[in-house]
Chain A
Amino acid sequence: MKNKNLKALLFLLPAILFLGVFMVYPLIDVLIYSFEEGYNSASQSFFGVGAYNYSYVLHDTYFLQALKNTFIIVIITVPVSTLLALLISLGLSSIKPLRNLFQTVYFLPYVTNTLAVGLVFMILFKKTAYTDGLVNMIIKMFGSGPIDFIDGPYWAKMFVMCFYTVWVVLPFKILILTSALASVKEDYYKAAKIDGTPKFRTFYKITIPMISPMIFYLVITGFIGAFKAYSDEVAIFGTDLNAAGMNTVVGYIYDMLYGDSGGYPSYASAAAILLFLIVFTVTVINLMISKKKTVY
C-alpha cells in the first residue's frame, strides 16, 4: 500500500507542482494583493490592509467605462450569437447536399488567429484619408454617408466590436447545436408527422426541449466567455483600448498590471476579483434558470 502511495505521488508530482505554483498559490496571493493598500512593486512593501483598492477601482472612470463596455458586449453578443447559431444549425440539419462544405466553412474562424483576422476586419471597416473602406462603400450604395467605424462614434465602434465577436464565437456554437440537433431521435419527428403536427409546433414542442440542455450550456459558456472579452478588442482597436474608449474589464486588469499605465498589481487584483464575482453570480443565476427550464 505504501508503495502505491509513493508511486501515485510520483506520477502526480509534475501536475501538483505546476498547478501549485501557477494556480493555487496565485489564487491565494491575488486575494492578499487585493487587500494590501499602497503596494509598491519595486520595494514590495505596503502600508495598510483594507478595501481601499476596491473603492479605487470602483471609482475609476476607466473601470466604469470598461464595465459598461463589457456589459454591452455581453448583452448583445450572447443572445445574438446563440440565436444565429440556432438558425444556422437548423438550416444545416434540414439539408443534405453541400452540408459538409457549409459546416467546414462555418468552422474556419475557430482555427484562425483572432489578432490576425481582427486586422482584416479593421481594414474592412476603417475610413482613412485615401479610402472610405469597403463597408462604407456598401453603405454608400444604400445612400448613406461614410461612418468612421474605428475612430468614430461610440455605437459605430460597438457595432464592429459585437459583429466581430459574433463572427468569432459562432463556429463553436454552430458545431455544438448541429450535433445536438442530430442526436434528437428520428422517432419523435415521425410520431409528430403521423399525428399531423404542424412544423412550427414540432419545433417548439420537440426540437427545442430536446436540445435545451445544449442551448443552456452555450448560454452559460457564452456569458463567461463574453465577460472575459479582451483580445478581440485589441485586434480591432489596438492595444491602447482606453484611448479608443473600448476597454473591457479584462483589458483594465492587464493595463493596471503592465504597460504605460501599469505597475499596480493591487488594483489589478481587486478588479480581477470583482470580475470573478460578477461572472460567478451570473453563472449561478443561469444555472438556476436552466434547472427550472431544462428538460432532461
Chain B
Amino acid sequence: MKKSTSKQATKIRKADSVLMKTVVYIMLGIWALIVLFPFYWMVLSSLKSYSAYSSEFTPKFITLEPTLDNYRSAFTEVPLGGYFINTVFFTLATTALMLFVTIFAAYAFARIDFKGKNLIFSLFLALMMIPNELVIITNFVTVTNLGLRNTFSGLILPSVASVFYIYLLKENFEQIPDELYRAAKVDGTSDLKYLFKVMIPVCRPTIVTVIILKVIECWNSYVWPRLITDDPAYFLVSNGIQAIRESGFGRENVPAMMAAVVVISVPLIVLFLIFRKKIMEGVSRGGTKG
C-alpha cells in the first residue's frame, strides 16, 4: 500500500515536471519569437513590391510575389554601396590601429620594468571611468579646428585608444610565465621578436576577442560619425540609414528602406553565426552595450 502511494507521488511529480518544462518551453519560445519577429518582418517587407506593400491596409504575413527590386533601388537610388564601403574601411582601419596601440601598451605594462609603471597604469585605469559623453564635446571642437570634419582621419582617430582593451590584454600577457621571457632574453631575443613570436601567438584568443568587440562597436557606431560628418560621401551605415529614413526614397517607400536595413544587418549576423562561440565568450568577458 505504502509503495503504491509513493509510486503515485513520483508519477504526480513527474507530471508536474513535464508541465513545468512545457511552460518553460512556451515562455522561451515566446521570447524567441519576439526577438526574431523584427528580423522576419524586415526581410519580408523588403521582398514586397512597393505597390503591394502600400495596398495592404492589414499587413500580410507572407508574400506570394517576392521581388528583389527593392535591393536594386537600395543600391541605385541611394548611395548605400558607398556607406557600406565607408563602414568596412572605417572598421578595418580603426581596428588595425587600435590593435597596434593596444598590443604595444599592454606589452610595456606586462613585461618592461620602468619607472612609474604603477602610477601610469593607475592613471590609465582611472580613464576607464570617464564616459564618452564627457570628452566628445572637446573632441568635436578639436577635430573641427583641425579641419578634419568629413575625413576618415577625423572619424577614426578618436576611437583608436581603448584603456579597457589594453587592460584585458595586459592581464593575459602577464599570465605567460616570466621564465619564458628570461630564457628568451638569455638567448638574446629582442623584445619585439619575443612579442611577435611568443606573446601574440599565445594570447591569440584574447586578441581575437578584442578584435571582435571592436568590429561590432565600429560597425554600429553612430554618435561620433554623426557629429563629424555631414557630407554623405563619408557617412557610415548608421548615418546612412538615418539619412535614408529622413530623405531617402520618398518618405513612404518602406520596402526599399527595409532592403537597406537588411543589407546593413547581414554582415554582422553572418559574422556572428560563424564565430558564435567566440563572440559570446568575448562579450561575456568584456562587453557592454550602450
Interface residues of A (CB under 8 A from B): 4-5, 7-9, 11-12, 14-15, 18-19, 21-27, 29-30, 33, 41, 84, 87-88, 91-92, 94-95, 98, 102-117, 119-121, 123-124, 128, 130-134, 137, 167-169, 171-172, 175-176, 179, 221, 224-226, 228-231, 234, 238-239, 250, 253-254, 257-258, 265, 268-269, 272-273, 275-276, 279
Among candidates A27, A130, A226, residue contacting B134 with C-beta atoms closer than 8 Å: A27
Q: Is chain B's interface secondary structure helix, strand, loop, or mixed overall?
A: helix
How many contacting A-B pairs (Cβ < 8 A)?
A: 256
A18 nearest CB neighbor, chain B only: B161
Residues of B within 8 A of A113 (CB): 219-220, 237-238, 241, 264-265, 268
B245 touching A238, Cβ below 8 Å: yes
A110 touching B284, Cβ below 8 Å: no
Interface residues of B (CB under 8 A from A): 20-21, 24-25, 27-28, 31-32, 34-36, 38-39, 41-42, 45, 54, 56-59, 100-102, 104-105, 107-109, 112-115, 117, 120, 124, 127, 130-131, 133-142, 157-158, 160-161, 163, 166, 191, 216, 219-220, 222-223, 226-227, 237-238, 241-242, 245-246, 252, 254, 257-258, 260-261, 264-265, 268-269, 271-273, 276, 279-280, 283-284, 287-290
Beyond A113-B241, A130-B54, A257-B140, 10 additional contacts (C-beta under 8 Å) are A15-B102, A22-B139, A108-B39, A108-B269, A112-B39, A115-B222, A119-B258, A133-B59, A225-B289, A258-B140
Among candidates A18, A94, A167, A253, residue contacting B34 with C-beta atoms closer than 8 Å: A167
Residues of B within 8 A of A95 (CB): 21, 24-25, 28
A221 touching B288, Cβ below 8 Å: yes
B257 nearest CB neighbor, chain A only: A119
Residues of B within 8 A of A250 (CB): 133
Residues of B within 8 A of A275 (CB): 131, 133
Q: Is chain A's interface secondary structure helix, strand, loop, or mixed overall?
A: helix
Q: Could you jot down 24 A-B contacts, CB within 8 Å?
A: A7-B114, A9-B114, A14-B100, A18-B101, A22-B139, A27-B130, A27-B134, A88-B27, A108-B272, A112-B220, A113-B241, A115-B241, A115-B242, A116-B265, A117-B38, A117-B39, A117-B42, A119-B241, A130-B57, A137-B59, A167-B34, A172-B288, A254-B227, A276-B134
